[in-house]
A and B are shown apart, each in its own frame.
Chain A
Amino acid sequence: MIILFVVLPLIVAGILPLVGKVSRRVLPDLLANATLLGLLVYAAVAGRALIAGGPVLQQLSWLGEAVNLRLALDGFSLFMLLAIALVGLAASLFSIDYMEHYGAKANYYALYLVMIAGMNGLVLATDLFSVYVFLEVAAIASYALVAYGLSHDGLEAAFKYLMLSVVGSAFIVAAIAVVFGMTGSLDFAAAAAGLQELNAGPVLAIASAFFLLGFGLKAALVPFHAWLPDAHPSAPAPISAVLSGLLIKVSGVYAMTRIFLNIFGLTPALSTVLMGLGAISMVIAAFLALGQKDMKRMLAYSSISQVGYVVLGIGIGTPLGIAGGLFHLFNHALAKGLLFLTSGSVQQATGTRNLDEMGGLAKRMPVTAATNLVGALSIAGVPPLNGFWSKLLIIVALVQAGHPVFAVIAVLTSVLTLWYYLLMQRKAFFGKLNEKWAAVKEAPFWMTVATVLLALLCVGIGILFSTTVSTWIQPAADVLADGIHAVTGSWGF
Chain B
Amino acid sequence: MTIPKERHVLVIFPHPDDEAFGVSGTITTHIQQGTPVTYACLTLGEMGRNLGNPPFATRESLPAIRKKELLASAEAMGLTDLRMMGLRDKTLEFEDDEKMVRMMEELIEETNPSLIITFYPDFAVHPDHEATARAVVRAVRRMEDRPKLHCVAFANNTLDVLGQPDIVYDIKDVREHKMNSMKAHISQTAWMLEEMEHKLQNGDTETENWLTLERFYTYRWDQDFE
Interaction A to B:
no
